[in-house]
Structure 1
């Protein structure tokens, strides 16, 4: 029983050290600009898929990933990628301007920041969930855009805020687990080809 509880605890509260080797990795300015442009382009394409409806909404949620990757590598690269993607979305698909900067994009920034400063997965998920909740509440209360549909048109009471917070933390936990799994899978091949970080000179 104790072994089962220990495994459950490890599953819920993952160790984030697998991503530590990519945190703050030094990149030359030219490569940083190239990576930022590529990741911003991917984020824009994924976020713009929301215009297709249905499955497109699922695909658009993946726009968090490029921002997350960039922020884990470098805070500067994360903000650069976020800003460039925001400008591109404003030009290509302005209807997504309510969603990206305060939900998917903000989650990528928040989680990337959390990976850099927290060593336990549950803290990463909690910080990211709070960040996402603040973004959603900003849309609901300040911009007053019904991003949640009819459920959010009557204002944000305490029950709705708690529901958003719990969902955001759970959603962030899924992202945290998925990102760590992706890092583990890619760890064997990430050092090959143009994305070989180990060849980057220190600055």
Structure 2
């Protein structure tokens, strides 16, 4: 599903801010998190999703995009940093995903970034928050045709019993990246914890 994460990160920067950030809770899918207080919410209308649907290369991509729920998108600063949360409910997608399948799912999805960014060498990590395993990728990139416009792109994904969920940022500076990483997140009753711990990219003993 290459279009999944790429489309979420590239929600148009011109969408109007609507309200202060808030706590997003999905009891049905088993997760909650709190957007940084000084980020503005964006309109996650069907327009951006339709643009992504048209770029889907395979029937699997189209099926996944039809099921993806874009729960929150937010923007901060100028040039704007963007963060997005998106979930893929298993009931809609028609199959369950395990933690063992998460790296392949998230890695293939993030490959779609190459359509819009010139990317550096990615870093990967695996870590635990409460009872849930997370997969994470971080890569530096510049917007194609705009070499001076650089971002840190970070994607962190996990699975609950009912969905795969990913949090993504296109951070224009270190403070925006830190705000994204420090968002309190809770999955299926686990105590809230920062989305990305400081040691997320440390190699674990084999």
Question: How high is the TM-score relative to the length of structure 2?
Answer: 0.29
Larger-Rg structure: 1
TM-score (norm 1): 0.30
Q: Which has the higher helix share?
A: 1
- By percentage of residues, which structure has more strand? 2
